[in-house]
């Protein structure tokens, strides 16, 4: 499906860790995702088209967005897409590597990504933001949570499977979004508690 060994590794990893990931996520304390999902949802009109990149099993964010909006979820893991289809029958799902996805220009009012961009090789982030910009209608919304450490690439054991992580510091994330043509509406680094310790993500809500 994808030629990039780093993203292929992520897909294989999420195929393998299905139930383990659910149990691990249930242990997280202070996850701000709901507040951010509501910031996006409340700015959209009934029936607006939302593309969700790295939707995982579709819970809880895809489910929340699909109540009032037309959601298309994308995930590289066949197992996660299988779960998402069962969990959110009202949304559509594409099994694909979003770093290689081709979509029609101006075909979504919003693009969202919850905790998936810290798996994107950071050398692909600039082109990813440009492509998201092209998929949005003018004044469309983009909500992303991004890693904040200066990590070109980390490959190792995570939840019992091999996983890949990559990220830029917040000032670089911000600059790449501005360079892609976005205007930033909200931009905040939030720290919370994962089962294995503190984790920080930069949340950015931006307009095309
Ligand atoms: C930490 S999980 C988050 C899932 C869901 N958004 C959530 O918050 O529970 C990251 C998800 O992003 C997906 N993902 C990572 N890189 C991807 C890529 N290049 N293309 C498609 N999906 C990707 C993974 O397969 C995984 O399901």
- How does pLDDT run across 32-69, given as a tens digit for each residue? 999 999 999 999 999 999 999 999 999 999 999 999 99
Residue 60 alpha carbon, nearest atom of ligand 1: 9
**In contact, 199 and 146? CB cutoff 8 Å:** no
**For range 68-73, the mean pLDDT:** 98
Reported as type and span, the H/E element at residue 16 is helix 5-16
Testing ligand 1's pocket by substitution, the residue of 1, 14, 159 carrying the most ligand atoms inside 8 A of its CB is 14
- What tokens appear for 138 in the block? 């003018």
CA 54 to each of CA 112, 126, 139, 196: distance values in angstroms, whole numbers, following the listed order: 9, 17, 23, 22
**Measured in angstroms, how far is the CA atom of residue 119 from the centroid of ligand 1?**
7
- Res 93 pLDDT > 90: yes
2 band by pLDDT with thresholds 50, 70 and 90: low
Q: Nearest-CA neighbor of 137 among 53, 207, 71, 199? A: 207
**Measured in angstroms, how far is the CA atom of residue 68 from the centroid of ligand 1?**
23
Q: At what angle do helices 125-135 and 170-179 cross, to 10 degrees?
A: 40
Residues with Cβ within 8 Å of 108's Cβ and at least 6 positions away in sequence, in order, are 49, 50, 51, 72, 135, 136, 137, 140
Task: Output the pTM of the full model.
Answer: 0.98
Reported as type and span, the H/E element at residue 79 is helix 78-87
Q: Given this model, what pLDDT does residue 131 score?
A: 98
- Domains, the chain: 5-207 (3.40.50.150)
- What tokens appear for 58 in the block? 């579709």
> Hey, which bits of 21-176 come out as E strands?
49-53, 70-75, 92-95, 108-113, 136-147, 151-158, 161-167
**Measured in angstroms, how far is the CA atom of residue 135 from the centroid of ligand 1?**
19
Q: Whose CA is nearest to atom 1 of ligand 1?
A: 115
Residues with Cβ within 8 Å of 56's Cβ and at least 6 positions away in sequence, in order, are 14, 21, 75, 77, 80, 83, 84, 114, 116
Return d(Cα 80, Cα 96) in angstroms, integer.
11
Q: Is 123 exposed, middle or buried (0-12, 13-18, 19+ CB in 10 A)?
A: exposed
Residue written as tokens 């690439």? 153
| Ligand 1, CB within 6 Å, residue ranges | 7, 10-11, 14, 54-56, 61, 74-77, 80, 97-99, 114-116, 119-120
Backbone angles phi, psi at 172, to 5 degrees: -75, -45
Q: Given this model, what pLDDT does residue 3 score?
A: 76
Quick one: DSSP state of residue 47? T
Chain centre to alpha carbon of residue 139: 20
- How does pLDDT run across 156-177, given as a tens digit for each residue? 999 999 999 999 999 999 999 9
**For range 13-17, the mean pLDDT:** 97
**Measured in angstroms, how far is the CA atom of residue 192 from the centroid of ligand 1?**
19
**For range 187-205, the mean pLDDT:** 97
- Res 108 pLDDT > 80: yes
Q: Given this model, what pLDDT does residue 1 score?
A: 61
């Amino acid at each position: 499906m994808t030629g990039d060994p780093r993203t292929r590794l992520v897909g294989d990893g999420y195929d393998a860790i299905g139930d383990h990931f659910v149990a691990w996520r249930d242990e997280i304390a202070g996850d701000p995702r709901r507040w951010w999902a509501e910031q996006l949802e409340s700015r959209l009109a009934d029936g607006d088209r939302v593309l969700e990149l790295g939707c995982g099993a579709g819970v809880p964010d895809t489910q929340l967005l699909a109540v009032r909006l037309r959601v298309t979820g994308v995930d590289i893991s066949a197992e996660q897409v299988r779960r998402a289809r069962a969990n959110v029958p009202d949304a559509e799902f594409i099994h694909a590597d979003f770093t290689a996805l081709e979509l029609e220009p101006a075909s979504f009012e919003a693009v969202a990504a919850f905790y998936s961009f810290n798996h994107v090789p950071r050398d692909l982030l600039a082109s990813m933001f440009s492509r998201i910009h092209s998929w949005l209608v003018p004044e469309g919304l983009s909500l992303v949570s991004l890693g904040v450490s200066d990590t070109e690439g980390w490959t190792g054991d995570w939840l019992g499977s091999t996983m890949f992580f990559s990220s830029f510091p917040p000032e670089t994330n911000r600059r790449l979004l501005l360079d892609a043509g976005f205007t930033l509406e909200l931009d905040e680094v939030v720290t919370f508690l994962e089962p294995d310790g503190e984790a920080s993500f930069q949340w950015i809500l931006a307009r095309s």
